[in-house]
Amino acid sequence: MIPRSAVFALALPFASPVLAEGFLISPPLDCDLGTDCFIQQYVDSDPSSDAMDFTCAALSYDGHKGTDFALPSRARIADNIPVLASAAGRVTGMRDGMTDSGYTSENAADIDGKECGNGVVLDHGNGWETQYCHLKQGSVSVTTGQEIALGDTIGFVGQSGKAAFPHVHLSVRKDGAVVDPFDPDGTTSCDAPGDSTLWAERPDYRAGGLISIGFADAVPAYDAIKQGDAAAASLPVDADALVVWGYMFGTRADDIVNLSITGPDGMVIADDVTLTKTQAQAFRAIGKRGRVDWPAGTYTGTVTMIRGLQIISQRSTEIEVK
């Protein structure tokens, strides 16, 4: 990988330090980062065929030109989560009408050239632009030429265009060049995080974490987890198995995922799973089969992500067995 000190000397499409002055933005979603939403990907700071975010970690992919604010499941698209203008401006472009089917090999030809999906472009003056991609079909609520205030709703979060998960992709540009709002002047290095920012209130950086956890009576299908349908509301005492699962983002090779279930009579099962590769998203599950009926009562499932000696994310959930 290219040293971080060399990245911005080579990354010509990015804006120069002096261009980051006098313009501030806010997040395009009003949500609790880490609970209701999370940042899945950052701007790719590596001009080679590799990818890295502004901290030199792997929360990006090659050529990624924005910051992805993601929802925890596809089911949340139906909740009409507003996408907000990150700064006051004028609408210079918009598109609507594309489905929220996401990107597949079957629809790749239809999406070619329209990877942003349903989206909006705002002009903020002095060469600054923001672009909002993957909005929900039929939700774009602005028109070209319209003046927009900071925080105005411009649409809802969807999964249109080239999107593998429901999110809004926020791109920031200065005179057509991509700017990373977390490091607009390129002063960050791997061993010396900088404090330059375009954010009025800079969102906390999370190097990975749990998106959701839940109980089931069998290891759920990954698609059900991504859809938001995998967590059982309750389980019968004669359930075939008790399973706890954790859905994660930003996993790295050698991360440890500890999963445990505690019931009315104490510990049911606990185990550590060591991850073998870096992934944008992943899930793991453990469980125990029932030989006789489970004791009725409250069961607690806990999932913990551990990186090195540090717990980076932990969640617990409860379920009634009756």
Strand pairing category for 234-235 and 310-321: parallel
Is residue 98 a contact partner of residue 159, using CB atoms and an 8 Å limit? no
- Give kind and range of the element (H or E) at residue 311: strand 310-321
Is residue 285 a contact partner of residue 259, using CB atoms and an 8 Å limit? yes
Is residue 89 a contact partner of residue 124, using CB atoms and an 8 Å limit? yes
pLDDT per position as a tens digit, 56-99: 888 999 999 999 999 999 999 999 999 999 999 999 999 999 99
Q: What's the rounded Cα separation, in Å, for the pair 20 and 14?
A: 11
Q: Determine the pLDDT at residue 172.
A: 98
pLDDT at residue 4 above 60?
no
Q: Determine the pLDDT at residue 193.
A: 63
Q: Determine the pLDDT at residue 3.
A: 34
pLDDT per position as a tens digit, 288-322: 999 899 999 999 999 999 999 999 999 999 999 99
pLDDT at residue 133 above 60?
yes
Q: Torsions phi, psi of 27, nearest 5?
A: -60, 145
Q: Where are the domains of the chain?
A: 24-178, 209-321
Hey, do 24-178 and 209-321 end up sharing a CATH topology, with the first three levels equal? Answer: no
Q: Determine the pLDDT at residue 5.
A: 32
Q: What is the CATH number of domain 209-321?
A: 2.60.40.10
More confident residue, 33 or 2: 33
pLDDT at residue 232 above 70?
yes
For residue 69, CA distances in Å to 30, 32, 46, 89, 91 come to 10, 11, 21, 21, 21
**Topology of the domain comprising 24-178:** Glucose Permease (Domain IIA) (2.70.70)
pLDDT per position as a tens digit, 214-229: 999 999 999 999 999 9
Chain-centre distance of CA 321, in angstroms? 32
Phi-psi region at 80: left, alpha or beta (left = phi > 0; alpha = psi -120 to 50): left
What is the DSSP track for 122-137?
Answer: EEEETTEEEEEEEEPT
